[in-house]
Amino acid sequence: GEDVEQSLFLSVREGDSSVINCTYTDSSSTYLYWYKQEPGAGLQLLTYIFSNMDMKQDQRLTVLLNKKDKHLSLRIADTQTGDSAIYFCAEHSGGSYIPTFGRGTSLIVHP
């Protein structure tokens, strides 16, 4: 089946930029998402990008999509301790109700 891969952990210093990477296999992916999960909570939709876009910026968040390499990244500028969470990448094609999620990247922000 289709797959979404992410690295499990990322550790950054407060104030630095964080880059969380994701690769996917479904060439018909239409929508790609980033979700954030804080400890003990559900997932919160952070941002999304359509497959016909290369980049999307929203305040401190920048999403880059390389459709040729099936690579998605989330950059968080000026990372704060409140950004510590698990970040999930997800994709789906327009013909499906069901997204495919990666296993999540735990972002640890230290002073």
Query: What residues make contact with other proteins under the rule CB under 8 A?
Result: 31, 33, 35, 40-45, 48, 88, 90, 92, 94, 97-99, 101-104
The candidate with the shortest Cα–Cα distance to 83, out of 56, 60, 49, is 60
Q: Which two tokens stand for residue 75?
A: 């950059």
Q: How far apart are CA 71 and CA 39, in angstroms?
A: 27
The residues near 110 (Cβ < 8 Å, ≥ 6 apart) are: 11, 12, 13, 14
Smallest gap, in angstroms, from Cβ of residue 42 to other proteins? 4
Smallest gap, in angstroms, from Cβ of residue 45 to other proteins? 5
- Closer to other proteins by CB, 41 or 77: give it: 41
- Closer to other proteins by CB, 15 or 94: give it: 94
- Closer to other proteins by CB, 76 or 86: give it: 86
